[in-house]
């Protein structure tokens, strides 16, 4: 249980994992709060699975076409942002059934990603890493990228906090106050896409949605305001990641799934707490 903490003091990879967990928790708790209260977790799941398409395409172009400057995370960012805008546009226009469009984006992204990875010489074995992540392989460069994503997400949320709050709480009233509700919705999906990319480095594209929603759902049972919920969700996300790392380190279990099971256990406990205990007053 304490092996990870001892390793964090001496091994750079374990130390990077610790910092990555803390950094990713900031944007996870912040954006996860919006995902839960705005009830867009299905959209976030669609975006996260579509990320595999971008990862696969970037790997393929890197190896097969010699685009060595193109890293998998670049493809992930493009795929996440593109899918968020497409799903958001469909959702706002409602010309197509929203869930059908999300499912289409979801499965097309996954299928394209698997095909690209299959066609990339020497990359097929990395599929599991992309699907389920490995926080113990986070590099210094990735840490800087995570810090950058955190800064962008937190700055935008801080600047537009009241607007996002109004749009999530009462969309029609926000429209009456002349807020561009559609633009804020797309911006929210864009933030979700950035967070999904950050989280996919830690737990992989398949498990992103769990880490995005479970800590925020737990926090939502105790918080009286959105800001409180964001702080609490970030703390719970960090606790889940660090507990998952601690538990999985010694027996060499896959870290991503362990983190998710820890978060799920926390959610189950809060869900079973009596109502009086959760009263927010």
Partner 1 sequence: MTTPAIELSGVSVGYDAHCPVLQGVDMRVERGAFVTIVGPNGGGKTTLFRLMLGLIRPTKGTVRVLGEDPARARERIGYVPQHFSCDPLFPVRVEDVVRMGCLGGARRTRQQARERAAEALHAVGLDGLGPRWFNSLSGGQRQRVLIARGLVTDPEILLLDEPTSNVDATAEDAIARVLGGLRGRMTILLVTHTAAVASRFLDTIYCVNRSVHAHPATDKLDEELMRHITGFALASGVALGGPSDV
Q: Residue numbers of the site for partner 1 (CB under 8 A)?
A: 37, 39, 162-163, 165-166, 168-170, 172-179, 220-221, 223-226, 228-229, 279-281
Burial readout 45-83 (b: 16 or more C-beta within 10 A, e: otherwise) = bbbbbbbbbbbbbbbbbbbeeeeeebbbbbbbbbbbbbb
In angstroms, the CA 137 to CA 245 distance is 13
Cβ nearer to partner 1, comparing 39 with 94: 39
Q: How far is the CB of 176 from partner 1 (least distance, A)?
A: 6
Q: How far is the CB of 167 from partner 1 (least distance, A)?
A: 10
Q: How far is the CB of 158 from partner 1 (least distance, A)?
A: 13
Nearest residue to 30 (alpha-carbon basis) of 195, 243, 244, 202: 195
Q: How far is the CB of 36 from partner 1 (least distance, A)?
A: 9
In angstroms, the CA 241 to CA 198 distance is 14
Q: How far is the CB of 241 from partner 1 (least distance, A)?
A: 23
Cβ nearer to partner 1, comparing 174 with 207: 174
Cβ nearer to partner 1, comparing 172 with 252: 172
Q: How far is the CB of 179 from partner 1 (least distance, A)?
A: 6
By three-state DSSP, how is residue 180 classified?
coil
- Exposed, middle or buried, 231 (CB in 10 Å: 0-12/13-18/19+)? middle
In angstroms, the CA 167 to CA 158 distance is 15
Cβ nearer to partner 1, comparing 97 with 280: 280
Q: What is the DSSP code (8-state) at residue 121?
A: T
Cβ nearer to partner 1, comparing 253 with 271: 271
Q: In the chain, what is the straight-line distance between the N-terminal and C-terminal CA atoms, in Å?
A: 37
Cβ nearer to partner 1, comparing 163 with 200: 163
Q: What is the DSSP code (8-state) at residue 39?
A: T
């Amino acid at each position: 249980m304490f092996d990870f903490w001892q390793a964090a003091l001496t091994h750079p990879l374990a130390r990077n994992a610790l910092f990555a967990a803390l950094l990713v928790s900031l944007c996870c708790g912040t954006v996860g709060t919006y995902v839960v209260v705005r009830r867009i977790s299905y959209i976030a799941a669609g975006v996260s699975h579509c990320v595999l398409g971008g990862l696969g395409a970037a790997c393929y172009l890197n190896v097969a076409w010699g685009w060595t400057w193109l890293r998998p995370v670049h493809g992930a960012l493009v795929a996440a942002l593109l899918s968020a805008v497409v799903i958001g546009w469909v959702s706002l226009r409602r010309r197509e059934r929203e869930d059908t469009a999300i499912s289409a984006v979801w499965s097309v992204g996954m299928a394209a990603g698997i095909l690209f990875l299959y066609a990339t010489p020497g990359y097929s074995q990395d599929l599991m890493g992309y699907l389920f992540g490995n926080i113990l392989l986070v590099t210094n460069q990735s840490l800087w990228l995570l810090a950058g994503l955190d800064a962008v997400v937190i700055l935008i949320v801080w600047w537009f906090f009241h607007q996002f709050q109004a749009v999530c709480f009462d969309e029609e009233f926000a429209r009456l106050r002349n807020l561009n509700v559609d633009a804020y919705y797309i911006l929210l999906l864009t933030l979700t896409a950035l967070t999904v990319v950050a989280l996919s480095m830690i737990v992989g594209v398949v498990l992103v949605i769990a880490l995005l929603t479970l800590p925020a759902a737990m926090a939502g049972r105790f918080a009286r305001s959105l800001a409180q919920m964001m702080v609490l969700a970030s703390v719970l996300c960090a606790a889940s990641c660090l507990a998952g790392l601690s538990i999985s380190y010694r027996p060499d279990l896959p870290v991503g799934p362990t983190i998710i099971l820890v978060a799920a256990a926390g959610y189950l406990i809060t869900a079973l707490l009596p109502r009086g205990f959760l009263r927010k007053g």
